[in-house]
Chain A
């Protein structure tokens, strides 16, 4: 009984208004999903599922976070489910094997030095300009899309969402040492793809 009472006193003032969800949040949620999974159809499905799940559990909304934050957290959990489905931590996926093979040539097997053709070269664009350059961003996204699913998941949860390493490891079921290997490999791969496609232009 005491607990019930406490719950009502900490209930916030935020309210849900499902009639406005589509106009207020559909594009936002869609963008949130697509940058993290790079799949148009799946992103649409997830937005739909998020609204439906939110309606189902609207009674549980306690009004302590904004409607937008609450909907985003539902979507976020759905995205993590997708990551898990797409990347089994037990069997090595073919996309990972392929990416690893590609990267085998990057460094010399003996001394770990960059092999000539894979050496990082200057992008020829100032940092501030790169941050604003639409074409550069588009190539970056195309390169992210090519990463193995598990790598993209680890990478975006860390660099886009600033999630803690422990949280990412437990949600995606990767060991801490594997986490660092993925973080390293994903970046080396992404940078290389960007160099290849940006300098070609």
Chain B
């Protein structure tokens, strides 16, 4: 039994695919206590997944900021805006 547990633990601590899945899930929802423990063990021993986790958190922040920070820079061209304005005027005058 002990051996089995050790094997299982080894499997978990080496499985980066599962660890990265849990890293993503944890940032959005609750993960179980067991998953929490598995992840902790894994990341403590795997510097690659620790890097992944750090970058994943950064990316989420960036994506969240992307819209609010950038929206002032993206502009429609004047010609298209004129066309839109005309369409609206026509529509309002029809009513």
Name A160's contact: one of B58, B66, B87 (CB within 8 Å).
B66
Check B91 for interface membership: any CB of A closer than 8 A: yes
Query: Which chain B positions have C-beta within 8 A of A106?
Result: 17
Check A28 for interface membership: any CB of B closer than 8 A: yes
Given the interface pairs A111-B14, A120-B52, the reply to whether A140 lies near B63 with Cβ below 8 Å is yes
A183 to B26, CA, bound (A): 11
The prevalent SS among residues of A at the interface is helix
Name A140's contact: one of B52, B66, B75, B87 (CB within 8 Å).
B66
Q: Is the CB of B89 within 8 A of A30?
A: no
Closest to B60 in A: A159
Bits for B22-49, please: 1 = Cβ < 8 Å to A, else 0.
Answer: 0011001100000000000000000011
Q: Is the CB of A165 within 8 A of B62?
A: no
Q: Is the CB of B88 within 8 A of A51?
A: yes
Q: Is the CB of B14 within 8 A of A52?
A: no
Given the interface pairs A31-B74, A141-B66, the reply to whether A184 lies near B60 with Cβ below 8 Å is no
Check A37 for interface membership: any CB of B closer than 8 A: no
Query: Which chain B positions have C-beta within 8 A of A51?
Result: 84, 87-88
Name B16's contact: one of A48, A113, A141 (CB within 8 Å).
A113
Number of B residues near A (Cβ < 8 Å) is: 45
Q: Is the CB of A191 within 8 A of B52?
A: yes
Q: Is the CB of A27 within 8 A of B15?
A: no
Number of A residues near B (Cβ < 8 Å) is: 53
Given the interface pairs A22-B88, A27-B74, the reply to whether A120 lies near B51 with Cβ below 8 Å is yes
Q: Is the CB of A48 within 8 A of B65?
A: no
Check A21 for interface membership: any CB of B closer than 8 A: yes
Tell me the minimal C-beta distance from B42 to chain A in angstroms. Answer: 10
Report which A residues bind B (CB closer than 8 A). Answer: 18-19, 21-23, 26-28, 30-32, 34-35, 44, 47-48, 51-52, 55, 106-107, 111-114, 119-123, 127, 130-131, 136-137, 140-141, 144, 155-156, 158-160, 162, 165, 180, 183-184, 187-188, 190-191, 194
Report which B residues bind A (CB closer than 8 A). Answer: 11, 14-18, 20-21, 24-25, 28-29, 48-49, 51-52, 54-56, 58-67, 70-76, 80-81, 84-85, 87-89, 91-92
11 more CB-based (< 8 A) A-B contacts, given A19-B92, A141-B66, A191-B56: A44-B76, A55-B88, A120-B55, A122-B51, A127-B54, A131-B62, A137-B66, A156-B63, A160-B63, A165-B29, A183-B24
